[in-house]
Structure 1
Amino acid sequence: MKKRILLVSLGGTITMVKTTSSGLLPKLSADDLLHRSPEIASLADIETWSPAMLPSASLSLAEIINVARGLRDRFAEGYDGAVIVQGTDTLEETAFLLDCLIPETHPVVVTGAMRGSDAPGADGPANIADALRVAADDGSHGRGTLAVFCGEIHAARFVRKIHTVSLSAFQSVGRAAVGAVVEGQVRFHGRTERSPAILSVDLARERPVALFRFAMGEDDRLLRCLPDLGYGSLVIEGAGGGHVSAAMMSAIRELATQMPVVLASRCSSGPVLRNTYTYPGSEVDLLSAGLLHAGELCGLKARLLMALLLMSGCDRGCIEAEFRARAGGAPHD
């Protein structure tokens, strides 16, 4: 019997067609995508849902949280899995959010396209077909949210968009992909350990989380404004293993007494260091000031995790525990 899979469309390039001005705009619903590729319908018993039709840079945390709630409701109704299609610009963020928010073992697969629906060699239909195969595969159960792109299967925690236009724009940074779709067959060769889902998210408690990328010559004026602007937390992408200038330390120390501050790296691969350098502005200096260690989470995903934890009403101890559990690369207790 065919698996019952929900195809969810949020917009993005995969739904875009040329307008009279020759620019691309999102126009196609999940139904439209399905009707444009009738052969896809044979892969599962597919039903559709189109809660948004936006370029992915315009998607909000609230919209993805509501999608997660909708998916949980559908799973309770008997759906076997779900495929979410959206724009690639924030695809890694949606995948990570869903991975944090959905406790069920049902497969959730996120995909998109680098070329518009009308473009020669459009990659959307192949990516949707591969994503549906993964969502319908028994081996996908319990793996959390997966991203499927260009025949590769990636864990949500590690997938990143690494190219602006390439059809193979996504990689598991610092890791191998956990699987692939080859000749229409799903093949897994790795597994990423899942953390328990965050279930107590309340949008009424939402507070902005700032993401600050250190750059040579940067000063502390932006940092000192954050409390007055209503920010609830800060993620710093430090240079290298997690470093800033000595001149910024006074402002960072003060902020760490007022809000949770997380130390990530602006590098594309590798964890934040813990005890290699001890100069002012080093990772030792920053962590001793009370900053939380992001492990192998990039700044984007550390920010999303912090936003969810704040919306869950977590205290400092809970936040620290969640980062230890989800960041990867942190030592085991």
Structure 2
Amino acid sequence: MSDARADQRRVLVVSLGGTIAMTAAADGGVAPALTAGELLAAVPGLAETGIAVESVDFRRLPGASLGFEDLTAVAELLRKRMAVGLDGVVVVQGTDTIEETAYLLDLHHAGSRPVVVTGAMRNPTMAGADGPANLLAAVRTAASSAACDLGCLVVLADEVHAARRVRKTHSTAGSTFHSPNGGPLGYLVEGQPRFLSCLPYRVVVPAPVGDHPFRVPLVTVTFGDDGLLVDALGERVDGAVIAGFGAGHVPASLVPALGDLAGRVPVVLASRTGAGSVLTATYGFPGSERDLLGRGLIAAGFLDAYKARILLRTLLAAGADRTMIEAAFAVEGGYAPPDRWPWAGSGNASKGR
């Protein structure tokens, strides 16, 4: 804000829409309508924090309608605004896609100051709407020096999660966001973020090269799967993520098609379970992780299938070749140290606690 004191913490709130910004629609239900300013005006106690808050209305969309172009534009906005003295940024959006968009922002955020993503599970027309509390917690976290060097964070229900780990686990519950592999990094206690752990490193992917609309589908393998979806990919994709059973398994009948696809484009093998790592050397039957990796698929490690798709699509957009993609997944999947990250100087050790 123009009248902010020299020592006052400054936070920018960027609104993309979502449930948190929805009001009653003429045809029934609710739809995004509120501005960032209106969202901030509804937050009790925000003025008493002493934080100078600016706002930008960037999009007014439900989370399901956001795309890569929207979030790439947000990442560019954040780069520009972070360069002029902000202490942190809050991105407000629909919770449907937060687990994906937050990771995309994390991969493009090279700075030390916090980027915090938040939203709401109960819209403003409902009793007990959680948007104001989540927004206040997000602003406090973005303004906190304790949140520096942690990359992009997701803050809802007074929990702070790493973008790389967080998942939406329930369709309607206010406590929907969890980090199955490691738990939350911290909590809001008496209005202040308190961190109990941190990720050991951060990585950054360069901005997209050109505007090619890379197609990277996610195929979830199911019981009795006859391979129809894998066969349908054909020559129409730039890469793919396969969410296999358990530790990375598929029916034997799918193996030839997956091997052929991996010979044409990068194919990442993830687990459909949502927690735990894809294995690399335990099972040896046709369709096992050893079999598939031997045919050229790339292990996702601890990245769930949704994160793996975001990473693969982001790597392709940055011009990464297969060797770079394999190295990047080895690091982010937990198989290799951060110094193996393919872009020198962008695998950063996070500060310890």
Per the shorter chain, which TM-score range?
over 0.9
Q: Does 1:151 align with 2:158?
A: yes
Alignment of 1:33-44 (within 5 A): 33-37=39-43, 39-43=45-49, 44=51
Aligned to 2:329: 323
Structure 2 residue identity aligned to 1:261: V
Alignment of 1:111-130 (within 5 A): 111-130=118-137
* Structure 1 residue matching 2:199: 3-state secondary structure: coil
Per-residue Cα deviation, 1:177-210 (whole angstroms, up to 9, x for no partner): 1000011121101001333311231251331101
Moved more, 277-286 or 40-49: 40-49
Per-residue Cα deviation, 1:199-234 (whole angstroms, up to 9, x for no partner): 2312513311010000011122322232332x1001
> Identity across aligned pairs (percent)?
44
Per-residue Cα deviation, 1:110-145 (whole angstroms, up to 9, x for no partner): 010000012111100000000111101111110000
Aligned 8 A contact 1:210 1:235 in 2: yes
Alignment of 1:90-109 (within 5 A): 90-109=97-116
Q: Could you tell me how far 1:65 is from its partner in structure 2?
A: 0.8
TM-score (norm 2): 0.91
Q: Could you tell me how far 1:63 is from its partner in structure 2?
A: 0.5
Per-residue Cα deviation, 1:236-286 (whole angstroms, up to 9, x for no partner): 000010000000111011111100000000002100011111000001100
* Structure 1 residue matching 2:197: 3-state secondary structure: coil
* Structure 1 residue matching 2:211: 3-state secondary structure: helix
Distance in structure 2 (CA, Å) of the matches to 1:3 and 1:63 = 27
Distance in structure 2 (CA, Å) of the matches to 1:331 and 1:49 = 39
Q: Does 1:31 align with 2:37?
A: yes
Task: Give the alignment's Cα RMSD to 1 decimal.
Answer: 1.3
Aligned to 1:55: 62
Structure 1 segments (4+ residues) deviating >3 Å: none
Aligned to 1:7: 13
Per-residue Cα deviation, 1:293-326 (whole angstroms, up to 9, x for no partner): 1011111110011111111111111111111122
Distance in structure 2 (CA, Å) of the matches to 1:188 and 1:156 = 15
* Structure 1 residue matching 2:117: 3-state secondary structure: strand
Distance in structure 1 (CA, Å) of the matches to 2:280 and 2:144 = 40
Which residue of 233, 240, 245 maps to 1:239? 245
Aligned to 2:346: none
Aligned 8 A contact 2:239 2:266 in 1: yes
Aligned length, in residue pairs: 331
Distance in structure 1 (CA, Å) of the matches to 2:158 and 2:262 = 43
Aligned 8 A contact 1:205 1:313 in 2: no
Q: Does 1:215 align with 2:217?
A: no
Aligned to 1:279: 285
